[in-house]
Amino acid sequence: MIFRVIKLPIRYNRKKALLKPVKKRVTLTFPKRAVQMPVTYVLAKEFNVAANIIRAQVAPNQIGKLVVELSGDIDQLDAAIEWMRSRHVNVSYTLGEIAIDEDVCVHCGLCTGVCPTEALTLNPETYKLTFTRSRCIVCEQCIPTCPVQAISTNL
Ligand code: SF4
Ligand code: SF4
Protein backbone atom coordinates (compact mmCIF):
# COMPACT_ATOMS: atom_id res chain seq x y z
CA MET A 1 0.00 0.00 0.00
CA ILE A 2 1.35 3.47 -0.94
CA PHE A 3 0.64 6.54 1.17
CA ARG A 4 0.85 9.96 -0.40
CA VAL A 5 1.88 12.85 1.78
CA ILE A 6 -0.34 15.83 1.11
CA LYS A 7 1.05 19.15 2.23
CA LEU A 8 -1.63 21.45 3.53
CA PRO A 9 -1.04 25.21 3.37
CA ILE A 10 -0.22 26.63 6.78
CA ARG A 11 -2.52 29.46 7.73
CA TYR A 12 -0.25 32.22 8.86
CA ASN A 13 -1.50 35.64 9.80
CA ARG A 14 1.70 37.65 9.43
CA LYS A 15 0.14 40.90 10.58
CA LYS A 16 -1.17 39.27 13.77
CA ALA A 17 2.13 37.50 14.37
CA LEU A 18 3.97 40.80 14.20
CA LEU A 19 1.86 42.29 16.95
CA LYS A 20 3.80 42.24 20.19
CA PRO A 21 2.37 42.31 23.71
CA VAL A 22 1.60 45.89 24.65
CA LYS A 23 1.79 47.70 27.97
CA LYS A 24 -0.66 50.11 29.52
CA ARG A 25 -0.07 51.97 32.76
CA VAL A 26 -3.31 52.50 34.64
CA THR A 27 -4.52 53.62 38.04
CA LEU A 28 -7.06 51.31 39.68
CA THR A 29 -9.31 52.68 42.38
CA PHE A 30 -11.20 50.05 44.37
CA PRO A 31 -14.38 50.73 46.30
CA LYS A 32 -14.36 49.41 49.90
CA ARG A 33 -16.27 46.25 48.97
CA ALA A 34 -13.77 45.34 46.26
CA VAL A 35 -10.50 45.97 48.11
CA GLN A 36 -10.01 42.26 48.78
CA MET A 37 -10.68 41.24 45.19
CA PRO A 38 -7.75 39.17 43.75
CA VAL A 39 -7.51 41.34 40.65
CA THR A 40 -3.97 40.49 39.55
CA TYR A 41 -4.73 36.76 39.87
CA VAL A 42 -7.87 37.04 37.73
CA LEU A 43 -6.12 39.17 35.12
CA ALA A 44 -3.38 36.55 34.75
CA LYS A 45 -5.66 33.50 34.83
CA GLU A 46 -8.66 34.69 32.81
CA PHE A 47 -7.08 37.22 30.44
CA ASN A 48 -3.41 36.24 30.28
CA VAL A 49 -2.57 39.81 31.30
CA ALA A 50 0.38 40.46 33.62
CA ALA A 51 -0.04 43.24 36.18
CA ASN A 52 3.15 44.76 37.48
CA ILE A 53 2.30 46.80 40.59
CA ILE A 54 4.16 50.10 40.63
CA ARG A 55 2.47 51.74 43.60
CA ALA A 56 -0.08 50.41 46.10
CA GLN A 57 -2.20 52.08 48.70
CA VAL A 58 -4.60 49.44 49.96
CA ALA A 59 -5.95 48.88 53.47
CA PRO A 60 -8.79 46.55 54.55
CA ASN A 61 -12.26 48.18 54.43
CA GLN A 62 -10.94 51.38 52.85
CA ILE A 63 -10.84 52.67 49.30
CA GLY A 64 -7.70 51.24 47.67
CA LYS A 65 -5.50 52.54 44.91
CA LEU A 66 -3.03 50.70 42.69
CA VAL A 67 -0.84 52.01 39.91
CA VAL A 68 -0.08 49.04 37.66
CA GLU A 69 1.51 48.34 34.33
CA LEU A 70 -0.65 45.88 32.44
CA SER A 71 1.02 43.79 29.78
CA GLY A 72 -0.55 41.44 27.23
CA ASP A 73 -2.39 41.15 23.94
CA ILE A 74 -4.19 44.42 23.15
CA ASP A 75 -7.63 42.78 22.86
CA GLN A 76 -7.11 40.85 26.09
CA LEU A 77 -6.03 44.06 27.80
CA ASP A 78 -9.21 45.78 26.71
CA ALA A 79 -11.29 42.81 27.90
CA ALA A 80 -9.50 42.82 31.27
CA ILE A 81 -10.16 46.54 31.71
CA GLU A 82 -13.82 46.03 30.82
CA TRP A 83 -14.02 43.22 33.36
CA MET A 84 -12.53 45.39 36.13
CA ARG A 85 -14.96 48.20 35.33
CA SER A 86 -17.85 45.71 35.46
CA ARG A 87 -16.67 44.90 39.02
CA HIS A 88 -16.88 48.61 39.96
CA VAL A 89 -13.12 49.15 39.86
CA ASN A 90 -12.37 52.59 38.44
CA VAL A 91 -9.70 52.35 35.73
CA SER A 92 -7.99 55.51 34.55
CA TYR A 93 -5.05 55.88 32.22
CA THR A 94 -1.99 57.39 33.85
CA LEU A 95 -0.44 58.39 30.59
CA GLY A 96 -1.27 61.37 28.47
CA GLU A 97 -3.22 61.24 25.26
CA ILE A 98 -2.44 61.45 21.58
CA ALA A 99 -4.21 64.09 19.53
CA ILE A 100 -4.56 64.17 15.73
CA ASP A 101 -5.12 67.58 14.22
CA GLU A 102 -7.69 66.80 11.54
CA ASP A 103 -7.22 70.18 9.89
CA VAL A 104 -3.55 69.43 9.30
CA CYS A 105 -3.57 65.66 8.54
CA VAL A 106 -3.23 64.86 4.83
CA HIS A 107 -4.10 61.14 5.30
CA CYS A 108 -0.81 59.94 3.87
CA GLY A 109 -0.91 56.86 6.12
CA LEU A 110 2.74 57.01 7.17
CA CYS A 111 1.87 56.89 10.85
CA THR A 112 -0.14 53.68 10.43
CA GLY A 113 3.04 51.83 9.49
CA VAL A 114 4.69 52.38 12.87
CA CYS A 115 1.69 52.02 15.17
CA PRO A 116 2.20 48.74 17.10
CA THR A 117 -1.41 48.37 18.18
CA GLU A 118 -3.33 49.32 15.03
CA ALA A 119 -4.74 52.38 16.77
CA LEU A 120 -4.00 54.24 13.54
CA THR A 121 -5.44 52.76 10.37
CA LEU A 122 -6.49 53.98 6.96
CA ASN A 123 -10.09 53.36 6.08
CA PRO A 124 -9.91 51.05 3.02
CA GLU A 125 -12.89 52.75 1.36
CA THR A 126 -12.32 56.43 2.08
CA TYR A 127 -8.51 56.33 2.49
CA LYS A 128 -8.95 58.58 5.52
CA LEU A 129 -7.02 58.14 8.72
CA THR A 130 -8.93 56.53 11.58
CA PHE A 131 -7.72 56.84 15.16
CA THR A 132 -9.05 54.31 17.70
CA ARG A 133 -8.16 55.90 21.02
CA SER A 134 -8.87 52.78 23.11
CA ARG A 135 -6.07 50.93 21.29
CA CYS A 136 -3.48 53.67 21.75
CA ILE A 137 -0.75 53.01 24.32
CA VAL A 138 0.82 56.47 23.89
CA CYS A 139 4.15 55.04 22.76
CA GLU A 140 4.61 58.20 20.65
CA GLN A 141 6.18 56.32 17.74
CA CYS A 142 3.77 57.96 15.33
CA ILE A 143 4.69 61.55 16.24
CA PRO A 144 8.04 61.81 14.42
CA THR A 145 6.74 59.95 11.34
CA CYS A 146 4.15 62.58 10.48
CA PRO A 147 5.48 64.88 7.75
CA VAL A 148 3.08 67.69 8.63
CA GLN A 149 3.24 67.51 12.45
CA ALA A 150 -0.42 66.62 12.80
CA ILE A 151 0.18 64.35 15.82
CA SER A 152 0.90 65.59 19.32
CA THR A 153 0.67 64.48 22.93
CA ASN A 154 -0.33 66.37 26.03
CA LEU A 155 2.47 64.84 28.10
S1 SF4 B 1 1.13 56.71 20.25
FE2 SF4 B 1 0.78 56.59 18.05
S3 SF4 B 1 1.98 54.79 17.39
FE4 SF4 B 1 1.76 54.64 19.64
S5 SF4 B 1 -0.05 53.38 19.93
FE6 SF4 B 1 -0.75 55.52 19.97
S7 SF4 B 1 -1.36 55.95 17.88
FE8 SF4 B 1 -0.11 54.10 17.80
S1 SF4 C 1 1.38 60.68 9.16
FE2 SF4 C 1 0.38 62.61 9.73
S3 SF4 C 1 -0.54 63.35 7.81
FE4 SF4 C 1 -0.03 61.19 7.50
S5 SF4 C 1 -1.95 60.10 8.05
FE6 SF4 C 1 -0.67 60.16 9.91
S7 SF4 C 1 -1.38 62.00 10.99
FE8 SF4 C 1 -2.12 62.17 8.89
Rounded distance from Cα 150 to ligand 2 centre (Å): 6
Beta strands 64-72 and 98-100 are unpaired
Whole-angstrom Cα distance, residue 129 to residue 43?
33
**Whose alpha carbon is nearest atom 6 of ligand 1?**
136
Q: What is the pLDDT of residues 63-91, one digit of tens each?
A: 788 878 899 998 899 999 999 999 999 99
Contact criterion met (CB below 8 Å) for 37 and 60: no
Averaged pLDDT, 23-45: 85
Confidence of residue 122 (pLDDT cuts 50, 70, 90): very high
Q: What is the pLDDT of residue 19?
A: 57
Domains in the chain with CATH codes: 20-93 (3.30.70.260), 98-153 (3.30.70.20)
Whole-angstrom Cα distance, residue 90 to residue 72?
20
Averaged pLDDT, 29-41: 82
Tell me which of 93, 115, 118 to substitute to probe ligand 1's pocket, judged by most ligand atoms within 8 Å of the beta carbon. Answer: 115
